[in-house]
Structure 1
């Protein structure tokens, strides 16, 4: 697989995973996503815990992306075509696209597998966070706060590089 295709596939699978997790989380949770209006200062210990959890979650996501790519190809679907169809469906432009019945069936089959894998990875992700003494909400809240602070972002990157 060429680097360009691999890059597109990883981007597509990541986008798909995020879309699915956002949709799934919204359907399952009655509480809204935590709102962060001002970046909170976290201790070094809290940032290290976040960095450790992030590193484990990233490893899990990378492995899952590879498995998703293989599953898409196993269903007879080109990963780039799968990504294109998923984006078209998400933007509701899919109705204007012409896809063969074979492509639609391959996409539907691959999507079932990908969605199942996504549910599995979400459960594993929650387990990884629990192993790091964090809930999903705490992790998301910290992630948003850290993104708002270039200083904390750099500190977490450094911590991840050291461990």
Structure 2
């Protein structure tokens, strides 16, 4: 059961990381009206393939996550401080930053973007090599984040109980 919870936690973490890059791409290439329609009619075989592909992506994700943490720490910030600065920038609430924090944040952000680009490219290669269409993979990832029905189906396939185990997996994946 512990292993399945870890897989669910990894899946949730991956969804967050990968969706950030795909959302930016989607927002630049897909008309706004098409983004609103969320596809949820994926077959069990598509969802199983998604899970199989995701398992193969986990080593890439873990290596990227370790590299990102090291980049942040090497810049002189803690992960929490980096997250705080990033969130304040995303919400438009400018945090008062010292020159040192600003420089450290920018340095870490550049390293993260390089690592993210490299990892995204490797992940796309794995997804395609496993015979899954990238659009379908991204669609399922988005559906997992936004559709309780798809989330429940995937968690059931993983053998994760809804409730405490699912909540623990989501909590672990966000670091909160």
Q: TM-score, normalised by structure 2?
A: 0.67
Bigger RCO of structures 1 and 2 (CA < 8 A, at least 6 apart): 2
CA deviation vs aligned residue, 1:42-71 (integer Å, no higher than 9, x gap): 14x433321111112233222211110001
Other-structure match for 1:65: 65
Gaps of 5+ in 2: 1-11, 160-176
1:156 corresponds to which residue? 157
C-alpha distance in 2 between matches for 1:100 and 1:12: 30
Q: Alpha carbon RMSD of aligned pairs, Å?
A: 3.1
Which whole-Å CA distance do the structure 2 matches of 1:15 and 1:143 have between them? 9
Distance across 2 between alignment mates of 1:12 and 1:130: 21
Aligned residues: 144
Aligned residues of 2:60 and 2:119 also touching (Cα < 8 A): yes
Equivalent residue runs for 1:23-38 within 5 Å: 23-27=24-28, 29-30=29-30, 32-33=34-35, 35-37=37-39
Q: Distance in 2 between matches of 1:74 and 1:13?
A: 23
For residues 41 and 76 of structure 1, what CA distance do their matches in structure 2 show?
Answer: 44
Give the TM-score taking structure 1 as reference length. Answer: 0.71
Query: 2: CA distance between counterparts of 1:25 and 1:110?
Result: 25
